[in-house]
Amino acid sequence: MNTQITEGASLYLDLLKKTLTASVYDESAWLVLQPGKLHGAYSRIRAAVIRALGKKSLLLVKARPYDHAQRENGRDWPMVGLTMVGHRRLDNIRTCIESVIVDQIPGDFVECGVWRGGSSIFAKGVFKAWGVTDRKVWLADSFEGMPALETEVDKVDPDFSAERYLAVSREDVENNFRRFDLLDESVRFVKGWFSESLLTAPIEQIDEPGPTTICSENALSNVPYIARSRLRSYSAEPPAATLPAGS
């Protein structure tokens, strides 16, 4: 078992990270304006303009300067990027996966809430750089956007249920994998709300589950947990912890 990868493979992963976060494009910081909630005449006029442009396949975009610190920490939503988690969280994913590989801990990678698939694409890239072919990458998502917040427990998080920007279809995510030549039979999709889909998902062992509490709770109910990387795309600090098998 290799304990390190070549310099070329490491450079590939660094470039993959920058590309998936769109850090090589200043324009990625631009903001696509959405209709939003209707409060007053201005918001109604803006919404009408945005919808009218949408019917002609046009977008209303606000130009903003690229902020490296924001992108590094996953504090903005890149207009053309495939992940919003930022550099540090992708580094966290790489560190966790590489430690699992080196320590020969069995298990697959699972991301819960994938948006455009960038974090899972990066995970697949890490496996490829290490020459690993016997681990699956699971993507669990509604592929329809965020659910409405119903309970008080839910409401500790921001309500993004109206953000159609976050609704990315499975087909679009698959195509994003193809762009990097990383879509194969080891990439699996679990469609549905986590509270329902993960209970019956055919996942046997996890080496790195993804972002949300409900994902972790449901994943823990029927699979052994090997390592955990808690990644919230809108949190300040992305903690990571490696747990012994059976924890």
Contact 139, 165 (CB under 8 A): no
Find the radius of gyration of the CA atoms of the chain. Answer: 19
3-state secondary structure of 227: strand
Token pair of 184 as six digits: 């194969």
Q: How many whole angstroms separate alpha carbon 15 and alpha carbon 10?
A: 9
Which entry of 14, 67, 76, 91 is annotated as an active-site residue? 91
66-75 burial, b at 16+ Cβ within 10 Å, e below that, comes to: beeebbbbbe
164-197 burial, b at 16+ Cβ within 10 Å, e below that, comes to: eebbbebeebeebbeebebbeebbebbebebeeb
* 184 in catalytic set: no
Contact 123, 95 (CB under 8 A): no
Token pair of 164 as six digits: 């159609």
3-state secondary structure of 195: helix
Residue found under tokens 């969280």: 89
Q: Which residues are identified as catalytic? A: 91
